[in-house]
């Protein structure tokens, strides 16, 4: 299942039932889990570990050195989980020693064509990156986030779980969980109600999150006062929202 024109380094570890298409290049210190499909003209550089049953389409560049002038050839890593789909012309870079030395991607994510994931980013599970969405270095994308086409996330920003980034938006502050943002620069535009409904959130929980959104964004409160009000609303989702806001290092979108 490996095309005769593919170039595989002798140190690469290839699992069972892996397909590698014509003219693809698998560099040193790359590990590819079983059942993964790699199309033609893909380049994967290491050190990198790619899990099971991923699909990587043509002309993608995976695990290349970071686009960071501070990088001096140190050994850094890329880790990709299972069942991810990486479409044409995606670029995913390894980490840098200025952070944790690793770029890390979870499971069941969809990266549409021309997506860029920069060094030291951390991506959770079940995310969707629409065409040309881009992450600058050190960004964190939590579970079930959707990024619209041509959207961008600034360095060291976090995007909370179940949030939605609209097309052409530029995120320069942290996006709290469950929130929908849009614009250049991105501002809050309500709760991600459609996404929550699709993922099985009951109406009672969605109504409570609507009240929480009003506390943070509609009542004219400071962040500290908003947190005080949120603490009166007990639920796992509200606790997640509070924790996210309290641990934000760059501030949340307002």
CATH of the domain at 217: 1.20.1180.10
| Residue from 150, 94, 145 nearest 118 by CA | 94
Same domain, residue pair 29 and 115:
yes
**Strand 85-86 with 55-56, pairing:** parallel
Whether residues 133 and 206 share a domain: the answer is no
Q: Catalytic residues, which ones?
A: 119-120, 137
* Structure confidence at residue 198 (pLDDT): 96
* Cα–Cα distance for residue pair 2/8, rounded to 1 Å: 9
Domain count along the chain = 2
Q: What's the 3-state SS for 227-244?
A: HHHHCCCCCHHHHHHHHH
The pLDDT of residue 49 is 98
Give dist(CA 1, CA 17) in Å, integer: 7
200: left (phi over 0), alpha (psi -120 to 50) or beta: left
**Are the C-beta atoms of 75 and 47 separated by less than 8 Å?**
yes
What radius of gyration do the chain's Cα atoms show? Answer: 20
Q: Which residues contact 203 (CB under 8 A, 6 or more apart)?
A: none
Residue 234: the pLDDT is 85
Task: Provide DSSP, 99-118.
Answer: TTSEEEE-SS-EE-TT-EE-
The reply to whether 92 and 207 lie within a common domain is no
Helical packing angle, 223-230 and 203-217, nearest 10°:
150
Residue 98 and residue 217 in one domain: no
Task: Verify that 58 and 131 share a domain, yes or no.
Answer: yes
How far is it, in rounded angstroms, from Cα 185 to Cα 173? Answer: 9
Residue 221 belongs to what domain range? 197-246
Distance CA 86, CA 173 (A): 26
Spans of the chain below 70 pLDDT: none
Residue 179 CA, chain-centre distance (Å), reads: 16
Long-range contacts of range 145-152, CB-CB < 8 Å, 24 or more positions apart? 146/195, 149/112
Peptide bond preceding 47: is omega within 30 degrees of 0, i.e. cis?
Answer: yes
Task: Please report, rounded to a whole number, the percentage of residues in the chain having pLDDT higher than 70.
Answer: 100
pTM given for the model: 0.96
Residue found under tokens 């893909």: 42
Picking from 91, 116, 138, the residue at the C-terminal end of a domain is 138
């Amino acid at each position: 299942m490996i095309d005769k024109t593919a170039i595989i380094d002798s140190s690469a570890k290839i699992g069972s039932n892996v397909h590698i298409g014509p003219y693809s290049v698998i560099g040193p210190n790359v590990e590819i889990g079983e059942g993964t499909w790699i199309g033609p003209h893909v380049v994967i550089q290491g050190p990198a570990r790619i899990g099971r049953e991923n699909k990587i389409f043509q002309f993608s560049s995976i695990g290349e050195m970071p686009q960071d002038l501070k990088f001096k050839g140190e050994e850094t890593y890329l880790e990709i989980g299972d069942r991810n789909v990486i479409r044409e012309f995606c670029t995913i870079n390894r980490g840098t020693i200025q952070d944790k030395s690793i770029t890390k991607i979870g499971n069941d994510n969809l990266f549409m064509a021309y997506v860029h994931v920069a060094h030291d980013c951390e991506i959770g599970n079940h995310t969707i990156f629409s065409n040309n969405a881009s992450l600058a270095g050190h960004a964190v994308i939590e579970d079930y986030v959707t990024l619209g086409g041509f959207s961008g996330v600034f360095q060291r920003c976090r995007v909370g779980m179940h949030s939605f980034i609209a097309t052409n938006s530029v995120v320069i502050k942290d996006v709290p969980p469950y929130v929908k943002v849009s614009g250049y620069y991105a501002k809050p535009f309500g709760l991600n109600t459609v996404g929550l409904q699709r993922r099985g959130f009951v109406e009672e929980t969605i109504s409570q999150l609507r009240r929480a959104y009003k506390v943070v964004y509609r009542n004219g409160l400071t962040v500290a006062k908003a947190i005080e009000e949120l603490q009166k609303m007990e639920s796992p989702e509200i606790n997640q929202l509070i924790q996210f806001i309290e641990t934000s290092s760059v501030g949340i979108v307002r």
